[in-house]
Chain A
Amino acid sequence: MSWAQSAFPWIGHVVANYNYWIVIVLMMTGFYVLISRGNLIKKLVGLNVFQTSVFLMYITMGKITGGTAPILGSHGEPVPGVLYSNPLPHVLILTAIVVGVATTSVGLALAVRIKEAYGTVEEDEINALDAEADS
């Protein structure tokens, strides 16, 4: 490892910040599913993966090494000597999870309506039907 670090000084930075790499991989997986798949349900699953990667990014930013969950002692005082992780990203992501499920449910409802109207949820077939209706 030491020779590797002297040869490539950025490698330590990359390994120490592995959380961002996981976020990028997950985000790009979700993005890829979203733009390459024609099935509307599959697109929504991809969107959910994308969302979770953003959640992970916020949560890992709030983490402090050696910290613990931000819950105070019994008298409403921070326990002395205990390092708390940052509560603010947790709050934001709690809101984001609920909003994400709300948008997912609207997306699924739209998919169901499209299925009822077109008889398919595949994007290319829908486009073909639209072109047919236009001509």
Chain B
Amino acid sequence: MLAAAGIGLAKLRNLFTVVMLAGVYSLLSAGLFTVMDAVDVAFTEAAVGAGISTVLFLAALVLVGHREKKPVRAPVLPLVVVIVTGAALAWGMIDLPPFGDPDNPVHHHVADHYLQESGHEIGVPNVVTAVLASYRGYDTMGEATVVFTAVVGVLLLLGRGAQGRRTGPEAGTGLSEPEAGEGGP
């Protein structure tokens, strides 16, 4: 079902439909995360992936319009690249450990320690929270830095544009030059 939604995304050309389908896709993957025991990830995906992302995409679509142009040529080269990459991935996949096996190497480095000791060391029953906020706290701080940088970036990009529009093209900022080029012959 997830794969079907993904392929639908690739085929559809009305971008509103695509964005709504992307929301459905996100919600489906949240359901799949629940099945895979990752409840924290599931509700983050449902809130952030299906919620905030969709709203952001819709807001952007309002500004840029929702029709996608028909591709001018048949996409043969991308298809070849994708098939070759997929084949390489499939080849690499053969060596990966079996699905769901408790003896996989992933489960025996620090995961045992987290599961056994985090109750005493941190005192939070949800192990994911304990690891996120304490053992890997620096990761979360880095994440906050990334989000902060992103917010600053968005504000710079859109805030400066609004200023350029207010002062008009004669202000001669770098941003209005491509517009002048477009208006030319």
Q: Which residues of A contact B2 (CB under 8 A)?
A: 22, 26
A31 to B72 alpha-carbon distance, docked (Å): 19
Q: Which residues of A contact B140 (CB under 8 A)?
A: 95
Closest to A107 in B: B60
A75 to B120 alpha-carbon distance, docked (Å): 9
A110 to B15 alpha-carbon distance, docked (Å): 17
Q: Which residues of A contact B131 (CB under 8 A)?
A: 87-88, 91
Q: Which residues of A contact B149 (CB under 8 A)?
A: 102
Q: Which residues of A contact B124 (CB under 8 A)?
A: 76
Interface residues on A, range: 35 or more
Q: How many whole Å from B171's CB to the nearest CB in chain A? A: 14
Interface residues on B, range: 35 or more
A25 to B140 alpha-carbon distance, docked (Å): 30
Contact across chains for B69 and A49 when beta carbons are under 8 A apart: no
A66 to B112 alpha-carbon distance, docked (Å): 17
Known: A31-B85, A65-B99, A104-B56. 13 other contacts (CB 8 A): A26-B3, A29-B6, A33-B9, A64-B102, A78-B119, A87-B131, A91-B131, A91-B139, A98-B143, A105-B56, A109-B153, A129-B181, A132-B181
- Contact residues of A with B, CB < 8 Å? 10, 13, 16-22, 24-33, 35-42, 44-46, 48-49, 52, 55-56, 59-78, 83-95, 97-106, 108-113, 115-119, 121-122, 124-125, 129, 132-133
